């Protein structure tokens, strides 16, 4: 089982950006936490973060050719705007779980819209960075 852990804009700023909303854990420590989980649960993972929509589209397409079995995706603000990311997920047809660290359903109205959701098998919101591990569990059960 090979998973892609994909993060969109500003998630490289975890620990620095709005800690009252996103917590104090850094992006680097999130990746370490997932690497530990990969060792204990016996899956392989690739990691990619970009602030650029097209780079995220490219990485989703690449996942198809790399034989990725599942995608854990926090698209950041592109969740609420990007038809291109939705189309990329539809194109590759790799099971994807949408993750948001914060509870987007209780924040500004615009955060309730998710374009990618219709191409995802599940959405996990408001569970902090543990949401990534819960998303992995769902994909491992696929
Ligand atoms: C986020 C929620 C988005 O609305 C926001 O733009 C982010 C992070 C989250 O993880 O809670 O960048 O995806």
The answer to whether the beta carbons of residues 123 and 56 sit under 8 Å apart is no
pLDDT at position 102: 98
CATH of the domain at 18: 3.40.50.9100
Number of domains in the chain: 1
Residue 96, beta-bridge partner list: 71
Q: What percent of the chain has pLDDT over 90?
A: 99
Does the beta carbon of 30 lie inside 6 Å of ligand 1? no
Which domain, by its residues, includes 89?
2-140
Does the beta carbon of 72 lie inside 6 Å of ligand 1? no
Q: What is the mean pLDDT of the segment spanning 56-61?
A: 98
Going from the Cα of 75 to the center of ligand 1, the distance in angstroms, rounded, reads: 7
For 8-38, write each residue's pLDDT tens digit.
999 999 999 999 999 999 999 999 999 999 9
Classify residue 52 as exposed, middle or buried by CB count within 10 Å of its CB (0-12, 13-18, 19+): exposed
Going from the Cα of 8 to the center of ligand 1, the distance in angstroms, rounded, reads: 9
For 109-124, write each residue's pLDDT tens digit.
999 999 999 999 999 9
pLDDT at position 79: 98
């Amino acid at each position: 089982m090979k998973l892609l852990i994909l993060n969109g804009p500003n998630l490289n700023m975890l620990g620095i950006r709005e800690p009252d909303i996103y917590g104090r854990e850094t992006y680097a420590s999130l990746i370490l936490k997932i690497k530990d989980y990969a060792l204990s649960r016996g899956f392989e993972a690739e990691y990619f973060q970009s602030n650029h929509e097209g780079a995220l589209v490219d990485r989703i397409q690449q996942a198809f050719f790399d034989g990725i079995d599942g995608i854990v995706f926090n698209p950041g603000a592109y969740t609420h705007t990007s038809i291109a990311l939705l189309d990329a997920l539809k194109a590759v047809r790799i099971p994807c779980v949408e993750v948001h660290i914060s509870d987007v359903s209780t924040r500004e109205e615009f955060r309730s819209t998710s374009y990618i959701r219709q191409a995802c098998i599940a959405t996990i919101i408001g569970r902090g960075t543990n949401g990534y591990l819960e998303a992995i569990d769902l994909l491992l059960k696929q």
